[in-house]
Amino acid sequence: MKEKIIKLIEEVLKVPAGTITEDTMIEDVEQWDSLAHVMIIGQLEELGVSIPLEEAIELKGMRELLEKAGCE
Amino acid sequence: MTTGRLAVLSNVNMNMVIRMLQKNAQVYEAEGYGNELGTLLNPQSSYHAYHAEITFLIMDLAELLEHDLDPVTAEQKIGNWFRTLEGCLPQEGVFYVSDAYLWAVELAVLADTGRKSQLEGIWERELRNLQQKHANVRSFPYRALAEHFGEEKAFSPKMWYMGKVLWGMEMQSALAEQILYRAGLEYRTPKKVLVLDLDNTLWGGLAGETDHTPVVLSEDHSGLAYKNLQRVLKIMQSQGVLLTIASKNNEADAMEILEHHPHMVLRPEDFAAQRINWDPKPDNIRKIAEELNLGTDSFVFFDDSEAEREMVRQMLPEVEVPEFPARAEDLAPAMVKIYETYFAAAVITGEDREKTAQYRANAGRKQMEDRAGSFEEYVKKLEICLLPVDPKEHLDRLTQLLNKTNQFNLTTRRYTLEQMRQITEDTKKRVFLYQVTDVFGDNGIVAAAIVDTAGELPEITDFVMSCRVMGRNIENAVIDRIEQQMQEEGYTVLRGRYVPTAKNKPVETMYDRLGYRKTDSTPEGTCYEIVLAERPERAYWLKENLYD
């Protein structure tokens, strides 16, 4: 699941595979703007991962995202 | 699939839909959202620099109304929006405007349950008005998509709160798909003829075996499934699809049902041509094509028999042969799909609505032709009337005629609606447009010619006639009228031109026949001239001249 989520995020951001890791912070990725963020949260729903609104807005990094998605 | 250069403008965040579209089409990168009218109004905007061929305006009504559900305010706000849009609507390009679906969470507790449709009705009315005034405005079926998914799936409050993305992912995919489909319609040439089998296709069971089992066509069970299929076909027919029959039956048995069965929705007059006999179907399809004067590459074949379908595929590979549904309940939906895949057109003109009647009348003319002794006698009996019509009032049809005519088309130039409009307003150009009627009825607007007087000599730059009325010397009458007018305007010489294409061989020698002199001939075309004072007398028979 973790790999699936990372792959999905890399596709949405149109960045090369391997760019996103568990340690990635959102503010460090130029392509991860607010629209990209909405798209990622929306696409995650398709994988059955539903992060509540307020937590989704507050997300800072990948580790936290994977945690909310129930991967760790 | 060709879709052209697209733009999507909205008052909500459609970037995800735009990204989906970019996989398959060229799409304008909108600068944010919510400024759709400003973008159109500002001639300096990147939108105008992009030169979109098709623009989609997808509007969320609740946002536009700022959630003020008062009908009086809504009238004003919606009215203002449409008036502003009309004010800045470019004449170039096609504009799709979404129809209305009002989604607002507070509607669920509003006691006035009619309010939603009341507010949507205001939008629909304005949109219809705009479409009637502007031929390049079309309605985008947004509402049907929302209804298909249902509110719970169509709309996503979370995405809306996060980033003004209104819809769930499936709805966004469907929007992208529908945008591509509509854009594709603008560019493709739809099929024209649907060839239908009868037994186990238009009805269940076999005609002519009524002593044992009556055919299945009724108000319930599988009989209703066939009836509903016919209802779909009837609407298709009213929108220009030519229905024909190729069926292996005794003709009398089949006609008995076609004429008298109480549950038949389609009647004999709904079919443009029919071949009910025991000949192989590919032969019958060829004969229908001959009778209608249409190429078999514009045919679709619908038959329950796999063997027949395979034979048509083998013998006539240019005919589209969709699969036949295995279950009766899937018949009507399968036909809807066939309509969308092969027949749907971006615009349906008045001509399309009359098509079956015109082609049926043609069959009558063919029979008269067979009976009449000479060609002259036959054409005289037709009592043809050639009626000039105003090109400005029939811009759609004029454009359609020039763009869709292949055989009788001297130069095969194609035009956009906007180019056509400019030509009709150009004082240097003369546009001749004619409707043709005869004893069998109205053939519609079927002949057009354009004369350009800007050069050293006036020239017939375009001359087209629908194949429906070819072979009756009508071109002689049309050219006479053009020449008369040019003479009245003081011109002494008129120029004509033939540009060969794969399909316009029938008019290769038209100018020679009309008494024009060849002045120049290259592979790109042949130039002709005629001295108007020396016009020859040409044979044609119009009703107005028959009895003087």
pLDDT tens column, B99-124: 999 999 999 999 999 999 999 999 99
| B165 vs A contacts (CB less than 8 Å) | 38, 42
Query: Measured between alpha carbons, how far is B458 from B285 in angstroms, rounded to an integer?
Result: 44
In 3-state terms, chain B is what percent helix, strand and coil (to 5)? Answer: 45, 20, 35
Is there a shared CATH topology between the B5-185 domain and the B193-345 domain?
Answer: yes
Q: Enumerate the residues of chain B whose CB falls inside 8 A of the CB of residue A56.
A: 158, 162
B23 vs A contacts (CB less than 8 Å): none
ipTM of model? 0.90
pLDDT of B539 > 90? The answer is no
pLDDT (0 to 100) of residue B55: 96
| B206-245 confidence digits (pLDDT tens) | 887 655 568 899 999 999 999 999 999 999 999 999 999 9
Q: Is residue B421 within 8 Å of residue B91, measured between CB atoms?
A: yes
- Does the structure show a pLDDT above 70 at B395? yes
Q: What's the confidence (pLDDT) of residue B367?
A: 66
Cβ-proximal residues to A6 (8 Å cutoff; 6+ apart), any chain: A20, A21, A62
Domain positions in chain B:
5-185, 193-345, 362-546
How far apart, in Å, do the first and last CA atoms of chain B sit? 56
| Rounded (5°) CA angle B304-B309-B310 | 140
Kindly tell me if the per-residue pLDDT of B1 is higher than 90.
no
Q: Which of B96, B86, B88 is nearest to B9 (CA)?
A: B96
Fold adopted by A2-68 = 1.10.1200
Grouping H, G, I as helix, E, B as strand and the rest as coil, residue B431 is strand
Pairing of strands B193-196, B299-302: parallel
Residues B264 and B230 sit within 8 Å (Cβ to Cβ): yes
Q: Report the CATH number of the B5-185 domain.
A: 3.40.50.1110
Could you give the CA distance from residue B140 to residue B116 in angstroms, rounded to a whole number? 19
Are B257 and B209 in contact by the 8 Å Cβ rule? The answer is no
**Predicted pLDDT of residue B65:** 96
Report which secondary-structure segment, H or E, holds B57: strand B54-58
- Report pLDDT for B548: 52
For residue B198, the model assigns a pLDDT of 96
Q: Which of B15, B163, B169 sits opposite A46 (nearest CB)?
A: B169
Interface contact B10, partner A, CB < 8 A:
no
Percent with pLDDT over 90 in chain B: 72
Measure the CA–CA gap between A5 and A43, rounded to whole angstroms: 9
CATH code for the domain defined by B362-546: 3.40.630.30
**Chain B residue nearest residue A55, CA to CA:** B162
Amino acid, single-letter form, for residue B350: G
CA-wise closest residue to B509 among B401, B379, B410: B410
* Buried/exposed B433-450: b ≥16 CB within 10 Å, e otherwise: bbbbbbebebbbbbbbbb
CB atoms within 10 A of CB B418: 17
Instruction: Taking residues B347-366, report their average pLDDT.
Output: 80
Q: What is the pLDDT of residues B147-161, one digit of tens each?
A: 999 999 999 999 999
- At B75, phi and psi to the nearest 5? -55, -45
Closest-CA residue of A relative to B168 is A42
Q: What pLDDT sits at residue B371? A: 67
List chain A domain ranges: 2-68
- Residue B13: CB atoms within 10 A of its CB come to 24
Q: Which residues pair with B8 in a beta bridge?
A: B56
Which residues of A fall within a CB distance of 8 Å from B159? 38, 41-42
- Alpha helices, DSSP H only, in B299-394? 306-315, 331-338, 350-353, 355-371, 375-382
CA distance B287 to B289: 5
Q: Which two tokens stand for residue A7?
A: 């792959």
Could you tell me the sign of the dihedral formed by the alpha carbons of B379, B380, B383, B384, in that order?
positive
Looking at the domain that runs over B193-345, which CATH code has it been given? 3.40.50.1000
- Which pLDDT does position B512 carry in this prediction? 92
